[in-house]
Amino acid sequence: MRVKLFSVLLGLLTVLATVLVLGRTVKADVIPATGLTGSAAVVTDRDGKVITDTSTLSKWEDFTVKYDWSVRDGQPIAAGDTATVELPAGTVAPVDLSFPLKDDNGRVVGNFTIKAGETSGVITFNEALAQTGTNRAGVLQFYVKGTADSDVHFDWKLNKIGWIGSYDEQGLPATLTWNIAFNPTGQNVGTVVVNDTLGPNQSYIPGSVVAQTGSYNNAGNFVQSGTIVPKVVVNGNQLTFTFSNVTTAVNMVYNSKLTKVTEGSNNWNNSASMNGTTVSGNVSYGGNGTGNGDNQLGSVTLTKQDATTKAALSGAEYQLLDSTGEVIQSGLTTDENGDINITDLIPGHYQFVETKAPTGYTLNSTPIDFTIDADTVTTPVKVAQFDEKAVVTGSVILTKTAANDGQALAGATYDLKDAAGQTIRHGLVTNTLGQIQIDELAPGRYQFVETKAPAGYELNQTPLDFTIVNGQTAAVTVKATDQPEQPGTTAPEQPGTTEPEQPGTTEPEQPGTTEPEQPGTTAPEQPGTTEPEQPGTTAPEQPGTTTPEQPGTTTGQPAGPDNGASDASASIPNGHNQVSSNGHGTLGLPADQAGQTSQATTLPQTNESHQSLIIAVLGLALLLLMIVWVPFK
């Protein structure tokens, strides 16, 4: 059951977390930019010639595409928004490509990406253009290749192409692979020497040559039948490959290492010659893009005022933060009018944050948000903030002395009350100097009230008023005195009031209330019940000892209200008797006879009462046990 409950709770938490995450996700918009369609692109070959019909472009050749793009004025551009770039018909991306778009100051405003073989790419904007409102435009340029196969023919003698062989850790090309083919018809041409020239920023990688022998099928594909090893001579960027006894078509590749590769456009050339025939190869990578925008700059005025009087406050210092939380201006100080004026703000979201309050005021760190809107940029933005006066706490020192000699009094206890009479400090005790010191009291009215006087002194409950003034630095001093107690007047009053009241109020009340309630247990009523039952045991056996002694010990009175022994007996339930210090029962009987009388008249009743109580308790316990046990079963 616990496992199922845990699973349900876990599922609910998962759903809640998902809802929260999705609720906070902001979907990026696709910007309706112009000039980024395939038909709007300008395609040129490696010689810069514009190509209007792109449907027949060869997949073995690279071409340049160029776009002039723009976004309409007023169109919001937020960080993460995108624009789709379509390739011209008959072209695809030759490799995975990614490069930044920059403004005229070199600041990145977005990034273009496209995958190898794809026919469209994406520009992703950052916050740079999000802060512009007009004239958003730029240029995008990169390399593509055609998709058409060339006609299959074998009337060529030497051919050369190249491609990117590998990439570095930054994703930029690291090596190129160059392919040289000759003798496609498989003639017996004997020794063949191929001279190859590497373009700038390339170097031959020794041992990278692989040459295959074979033939071409009707589809124009090379079919390998064997290998051939040429002699390689390297002289700077000049390479010489010598092949002996060539009787078949030869297809050779080798690698070159690249240097000075940039994120922008890169173009590498290579040429080869054989028996008077010269061919060249070209590998292109990357691209470049620009993006700019203009703004009608806005302005803002912050006014600082007293929270109560609304008076202008100078000397408050602020920072200005942009939408990312970055501080773009600091040390901004309110003038004599309580104002801070800022101009030349591009459209966007901002915050003022107070870093230093005016003198005598409390810092208000609540950010002040405001927006410069591109559509209303000519209207100045006005914001305000109010500060509360700073509360300066104070302190008080109470000094307690004796009224008669001015001696400092320790041990006096006080409560501290506020203006409403509420106790805010309790149990404050004067030290050996007779002082109590309290710090950090807010401005206002207070009272000390003594709750306990020092030993030997009279309590003085007169409230001691004092006031803490805002800004006061010196401690408030309060003086209090107590009068010594007067022993001459105190001692006679205590015995005079105590002794007469105890016998006069206590003794008459006890028998008066006891005799009606317990007739069988009080002294006056026992003789009436006892004498008939034991006439021969009580009177004859102790005629001389009992009768004379009791009057002498009880001041001539029978066991009654004024007899202390009778009181003790009357307070015992069921007539139990106490034994006095002289060994006699409280009714004046000897101890043994008193015990016999008690056993004969009282103990059976007492035992019966205890047994009934025990039985009742056991029955109740059994009933409770059954009530609890049955539902449990």
Q: What is the pLDDT of residue 589?
A: 33
Tell me what the mean pLDDT of segment 462-477 comes to: 91
Q: What is the pLDDT of residue 171?
A: 87
For domain 296-387, give the fold: Immunoglobulin-like (2.60.40)
Q: Which long-range contacts (CB under 8 A, 24 or more apart) does 309-313 make?
A: 310/386, 311/338, 312/336, 312/337, 312/338, 312/339, 313/338, 313/358, 313/361, 313/387
383: which 2 tokens? 């914001």
Instruction: Give the span between the Cα atoms of 124 and 105, in whole angstroms.
Output: 19
Least confident window among 267-276, 331-340, 515-524, 561-570: 561-570
Is the predicted pLDDT of residue 557 greater than 80, yes or no? no
Is the predicted pLDDT of residue 329 greater than 70, yes or no? yes
Is the predicted pLDDT of residue 260 greater than 80, yes or no? yes
Identical fold between 158-283 and 394-482: yes
CB atoms within 10 A of CB 169: 6
Q: What is the pLDDT of residue 152?
A: 66
- CATH class of the region 394-482: mainly beta
Is the predicted pLDDT of residue 219 greater than 50, yes or no? yes
CB 591 within 8 A of CB 579: yes
pLDDT > 90: what percent of the chain? 55
pLDDT confidence of 611, banded at 50, 70, 90?
A: low
Tell me what the mean pLDDT of segment 589-606 comes to: 37
Q: What is the DSSP string of 215-276?
A: EE-TTS-EEEEEE---EEEEETTEEEEEEEEE-SEEEEEEEEEE-S--SS-EEEEEEEEETT
560: which 2 tokens? 């009654």
pLDDT confidence of 348, banded at 50, 70, 90?
A: confident
- Contact residues for 204 (Cβ-Cβ < 8 A; gap 6+): 198, 234, 237, 239, 254, 256, 257
pLDDT confidence of 173, banded at 50, 70, 90?
A: very high
Instruction: Give the span between the Cα atoms of 199 and 237, in whole angstroms.
Output: 7
pLDDT confidence of 588, banded at 50, 70, 90?
A: very low
pLDDT confidence of 10, banded at 50, 70, 90?
A: low
Half-sphere exposure of 368 (CA within 13 A, CB side): 21
Tell me what the mean pLDDT of segment 536-544 comes to: 43
358: which 2 tokens? 């005016």
Q: What is the pLDDT of residue 407?
A: 94
Tell me what the mean pLDDT of segment 558-578 comes to: 37
Least confident window among 79-88, 134-143, 559-568: 559-568
Is the predicted pLDDT of residue 573 greater than 80, yes or no? no
Q: Is the pTM of this model over 0.85?
A: no
Q: What are phi and psi of 627, to 5 degrees?
A: -65, -40
Q: What is the pLDDT of residue 596?
A: 39
Instruction: Give the span between the Cα atoms of 261 and 240, in whole angstroms.
Output: 26
In this structure, the chain runs to a length of: 633
Is the predicted pLDDT of residue 590 greater than 80, yes or no? no
3-state SS assignment for residue 623: helix
Is the predicted pLDDT of residue 509 greater than 60, yes or no? no
User: C-alpha angle with apex 35: 32 to 37, nearest 5 degrees?
Assistant: 85
pLDDT confidence of 240, banded at 50, 70, 90?
A: very high
β-bridge mates for residue 585, sequence order: 579
pLDDT digits (tens, 9 = 90+) for 414-427: 999 999 999 999 99
Residue 310's nearest CA partner among 387, 377, 236, 408 is 387
pLDDT confidence of 568, banded at 50, 70, 90?
A: very low
Is the predicted pLDDT of residue 609 greater than 60, yes or no? no
Least confident window among 33-37, 232-236, 341-345, 375-379: 375-379
pLDDT confidence of 151, banded at 50, 70, 90?
A: low
* Radius of gyration over every alpha carbon of the chain, rounded to an integer in angstroms: 56
- Contact residues for 34 (Cβ-Cβ < 8 A; gap 6+): 40, 69, 70, 71, 72
Tell me what the mean pLDDT of segment 267-291 comes to: 91
Tell me what the mean pLDDT of segment 64-92 comes to: 92
Helix (H) or strand (E) holding 388: none
> Where exactly are the structural domains of the chain?
42-146, 158-283, 296-387, 394-482
Q: What is the DSSP string of 502-535?
A: HHHHHTTHHHHHHHHH-TTTSTTTHHHHHHHHSH
Residue 436's nearest CA partner among 474, 480, 398, 396 is 398
β-bridge mates for residue 237, sequence order: none
Mean pLDDT for the chain? 80
Q: What is the pLDDT of residue 491?
A: 45
Residue 467's nearest CA partner among 487, 483, 446, 489 is 446
Instruction: Give the span between the Cα atoms of 143 and 613, in whole angstroms.
Output: 108
Higher pLDDT, 29 or 523: 29
Tell me what the mean pLDDT of segment 154-169 comes to: 90
Q: What is the pLDDT of residue 629?
A: 58
Is the predicted pLDDT of residue 59 greater than 80, yes or no? yes
413: which 2 tokens? 């206890």
Half-sphere exposure of 524 (CA within 13 A, CB side): 13
CA distances from 102 to 105, 262, 390, 426, 613 (A): 8, 14, 50, 71, 101
pLDDT confidence of 390, banded at 50, 70, 90?
A: confident
Is the predicted pLDDT of residue 246 greater than 80, yes or no? yes
Q: What is the pLDDT of residue 409?
A: 95
Least confident window among 232-241, 268-277, 523-532, 549-558: 549-558
pLDDT digits (tens, 9 = 90+) for 424-458: 999 999 999 999 999 989 899 999 999 999 999 99
CB 86 within 8 A of CB 97: no
Instruction: Give the span between the Cα atoms of 129 and 103, in whole angstroms.
Output: 9
Q: What is the DSSP letter of 8?
A: H
Least confident window among 28-32, 286-290, 539-543: 539-543
CB 280 within 8 A of CB 266: no
- Contact residues for 190 (Cβ-Cβ < 8 A; gap 6+): 244, 245, 246
Is the predicted pLDDT of residue 306 greater than 60, yes or no? yes
Is the predicted pLDDT of residue 163 greater than 80, yes or no? yes
Helix (H) or strand (E) holding 436: strand 435-441
- Contact residues for 326 (Cβ-Cβ < 8 A; gap 6+): none
Q: What is the pLDDT of residue 620?
A: 79
Least confident window among 44-58, 111-125, 162-176, 502-516: 502-516
316: which 2 tokens? 């408050």
Least confident window among 36-40, 379-383, 626-630: 626-630
Is the predicted pLDDT of residue 287 greater than 50, yes or no? yes
- CATH class of the region 158-283: mainly beta
For domain 42-146, give the fold: Immunoglobulin-like (2.60.40)
